[in-house]
Structure 1
Amino acid sequence: MIEPSGPLKGLRVVDLTRVLAGPTCTQMLGDLGAEVIKIERPEAGDDTRGFAPPFMPNTRESAYFVGVNRNKKSITLDIAKPEAQAVVHKLLANADILVENFKVGALAKYGLGWDQLKEKYPGLIYCSITGFGQTGPYAPRPGYDALIQAMGGVMSLTGEPEGEPQKVGIPVADLFAGLYGTIGILAALRHKQATGQGQQIDIGMLDTHVAWLANQGMNYLATGQNPPRLGNQHPNIVPYQVFPTADGYMVLSIGNDPTFERFCKNFGLEHLLADERYATNAARVGNRALVTETLTAVTRTMPTDEWIAKLEALKIGCGPINTLDRVFADPHVQARDMLVKMPHASGQEVTVVANPVKLSATPPDYRSAAPLLGQHTDEVLASLGYSAAEIASLREQKLV
């Protein structure tokens, strides 16, 4: 593995996470230079190793797993056994951070709960990511992305007005929980730097979901009214939505009155500016259907690419609705280096989505692709002082 160079270089993370929320958090830490030791179940490993097809080309590694487990070392341990728990304790003796997403109380069965570790390792930062957090009536429940999207309100806001509620097309509840976990860890590291003390970080997926209801959450708090589903329209700005073109669709984002005026003057709609129903954003929100109908008749007159060229020249927000092939082929996405090719232990090269954080002095680095199951077991155990014979014995006992 290439030596890390990021701002978290020198930090060790014990990674007891699987699926998506936890691995998103620990991959971010790994990208920023931390040594991440991922502990997986012998033979089975992280559940997402089996979330396939698709597999990465010419490998038996699931695309799902490869996408959120780079810059990690994989060791296999059966943490239900005392001998394997002893290995975890040896790791923790020189670790800065533990990240886990077991059900509340599950790790306590193995002597690895926060209350059992905090006195033995007072500087340990212990990040727990669960569906509902460590407290409250739902704490014992398992958390799943679609379930959290439903309970957290976003599904009630997503979809066509007359259609059924819709979840977002990617697992945003998992992803946000993982990223909030990273933020909490970075704050805890600053506290530890100042005081020497670790702490527990309690991340509940439902909490993080409620936190990013953002303007829609505030719309409810301001009015006491549940915001309706608006399809692809914006609750507070009109026109800011999908419009049909002569050959497809585009997003038109007119964020203020001067921009609307510029749009009207350049596309034969200047007469609308004298109509009070169109004159201000507040009026346009109140006459949403009328504005949409009026502009749709105009947007249908040109193909998408022609609209984009003309609107960009006028500095009016717009964009095509890209499929993923167009996203990854986009010249701006490519210029921003959002795809990275990495050598994989299978002997193949894998392409992954890059870390979006751009740091001028200590950028994310890409040291190793997602590991094979147990790829680093012998290496890590040897670094902890286990002899070859002791490692072989652990393997014979199916503890690793």
Structure 2
Amino acid sequence: MKPLEGLLVLEFAQFMAAPTAGLKLADLGARVIKIERPVKGEGGRQIAIKNLFVDGDSLVFHTINRNKESYAADLKNPEDLERVKKLIAQADVMTHNFRPGVMEKIGLDYEQAIKINPKLVYGIVTGYGNKGPWANKPGQDLLIQSLSGLTWLSGTSNHGPTPFGLATADMICGHHLTQGILAALIKRAKTQKSVLVEVSLLESILDLQFEVITSFLNDGNKLPQRGSENGTAHAYLSAPYGIYQTKDAYLALAMGNLLFIGETLGIDLSAYKHKESWFTEKDQITQLLANRIQEESTSYWTDLLNSKGIWCSPIFNYQELLSHEAYQVLGFDQELDLPNGEILKGTRSPIQINGEKLYSRKAAPKAGAETELINQQFNLI
């Protein structure tokens, strides 16, 4: 039995952040029902990465919405809205990511929802919070990355601002919403009262940067300076930390005693015996390391450095990683059974409960696929 079995979650959400939370809850055993527009469903069904679609919906929609059900309802239709309210009365959790004011117009904002269900855990995702000049600004991941300072942490000093190659704000915000909901469920169990959970994309991406923002706040408000093209983009870690080109590929070097690493590499770094210089002279040091490391192959360096207990690694792409025994032993692959009979390959939840991995073959639903079943099970008609 999964830990959240018996929990009913209603997801009035689209695209990525809030649905990511729904995915995590579903993986842990909750019954997650997406409340979607009839026929077309939520907007995320047509937002694709690499223009990949599977069985009429985007691949990324399938990725985020596996293991869920879909209930079709036009929230502007009084009859549909009344059925949805009956469903809310029986739910444990309700989430949405509409802009401020939308749910108030529908009559399903927190204050109205807890009149229907006084024990409801109500989760909201916004882009920038409910107040301030950005409250109604589109909460889109690239915009959040760009406004939050994050794009000045990737790349190197000779690059402009560089965004992550992932929907970082959406994903971390979804995890924060999950954490808040789980904490709220514990509080509700103690108080038997509703709990409001609110997260925003901006606050989530700022929290992800707490390490470097804290350094900024306590270091005279000095802006982070990314490293040179050799080594690392990390503004606050000393040499040798970073990635270096070898004779045939690349090598990652983590933290360690710089003088010992230099000795192992065959480089005289005695001029940098004071640890302070590992920070202040980082670019010069990483250039010396880069010149030496490119003379030999990656396997040569990993064999040598590992034998000395120095933290290092080759750089893998997905082909190399997924074919490696270290990945395969995880059992991280998962297959989903699509409604059209095809099989979709994906990945499982990273969580294990009592030694058991959390798998599910249930693919993302077609829009409204379970409407009739849910009407019957919850006596909505």
Shared fold per TM-score greater than 0.5 = yes
Give the match's secondary structure for 1:118: helix
Match of 1:396 in 2: none
Report 1:77-92 matches (<5 A). Answer: 77-92=73-88
Letter in 2 for 1:287: E
Does residue 33 of structure 2 align to residue 51 of structure 1?
Answer: no
Structure 2 counterpart of 1:204, one-letter code: S
8 Å contact kept, 1:246–1:304: yes
SS in 1 for 2:125: strand
Aligned to 2:222: 225
Structure 1 portions without partners, runs of 5+: 388-400
CA distance, structure 1, for counterparts of residue 60 and residue 45 of structure 2: 7
Residue aligned with 1:119, SS: helix
Equivalent position to 2:378, from 376, 384, 387: 384
Q: Structure 1 residues 319 and 61, CA, compared in 2 at 3 Å: closer, same or farther?
A: farther
The residue type paired with residue 137 of structure 1 is P
Cα deviation, 1:60-88, whole Å, max 9, x if unaligned, reads 33211111111100121111211111121
- The amino acid across from 1:140 in the alignment is N
Paired residue for 1:214, among 189, 210, 215?
A: 210
Matched, 1:266 2:260: no
- Provide the residue aligned with 1:358 in structure 2: 352
Residues 1:193 and 2:194 aligned together: no
Aligned residues: percent identity? Answer: 29
Instruction: Report deviation, 1:261.
Output: 4.0
User: Counterpart in 2 of 1:150?
Assistant: 146
User: Residues 319 and 267 from structure 1, CA distance in 2 versus in 1: closer, same or farther, beyond 3 angstroms?
Assistant: same
Find the aligned partners of 1:48 and 1:301 in 2 and give their Cα distance.
48
C-alpha distance 74-310 of structure 1, shift in aligned 2 (>3 A) = farther
Change (3 A) 1:90 1:362: farther
Corresponding residue pairs, total: 374
User: Does residue 133 of structure 1 match 2:144?
Assistant: no
Maintained 8 Å contact 1:132/1:204: yes
What's the offset of the Cα at 1:351?
Answer: 1.0
Instruction: Report what 2:24 is aligned to.
Output: 28
Per-residue displacement from partner, 1:16-73 (whole Å, max 9, x unpaired)? 11111011110000000000001111122122221242124xx333211111111100
Distance 2:307 2:372 in 1: 59
Is contact 2:148-2:205 (8 Å) kept?
yes
Please tell me whether the aligned partners of residues 19 and 47 of structure 1 are also in contact (alpha carbons under 8 angstroms): yes
Bigger drift between 137-146 and 187-196 goes to 137-146
Conservation of the 8 A alpha-carbon contact between 2:88 and 2:116: no
Q: CA deviation at 1:292?
A: 1.0
**TM-score, structure 2 normalization:** 0.93
Question: What TM-score do the two structures reach when normalised by structure 1?
Answer: 0.88
Distance 1:361 1:114 in 2: 38
Task: Determine the C-alpha separation between the residues in 1 that align with 2:79 and 2:298.
Answer: 63
What residue is the counterpart of 2:63 in the other structure?
67
**Which aligned pairs between 1:247-396 and structure 2 lie closer than 5 A?**
247-253=248-254, 255-257=255-257, 260-269=258-267, 271-272=268-269, 274-275=270-271, 277=272, 279-360=273-354, 363-385=357-379
* 5+ long unaligned stretches in structure 2: none
Verify the 8 A CA contact 2:67 2:362 in the aligned structure 1.
Answer: yes
Matched residue SS, 2:115:
coil
Cα distance in 1 for residues equivalent to 2:321 and 2:62: 20
Residues 214 and 312 (structure 1 numbering): CA distance in 2 closer, same or farther, change over 3 Å? farther
Q: Give the deviation of 1:92 after TM superposition.
A: 1.0
State how far apart, in whole Å, the 2-side matches of 1:135 and 1:367 are. Answer: 41
1: distance between equivalents of 2:92 and 2:320? 41
Cross-structure match for 1:111: 107
* The 10-residue stretch of structure 1 (40-49 or 304-313) with the greater mean CA deviation from structure 2: 304-313
Query: Tell me, what secondary structure is at the counterpart of 2:122?
Result: strand
After the TM superposition, which parts of structure 1 deviate over 6 Å for at least 4 consecutive aligned residues? none
Whether the 8 Å CA contact 2:9–2:92 is kept in 1: the answer is: yes
Q: Distance in 2 between matches of 1:44 and 1:153?
A: 36
Bigger relative contact order (CA 8 A; separation at least 6): 1
CA RMSD of aligned residues (A): 1.8
How far apart are residue 98 of structure 1 and its match?
0.3
Rounded to whole Å, the distance in 2 between the matches of 1:299 and 1:215 is 30
Task: Single out whichever of 193-202 and 45-54 deviates more from structure 2.
Answer: 45-54
Tell me, yes or no, if structure 1 residue 245 matches structure 2 residue 243: no
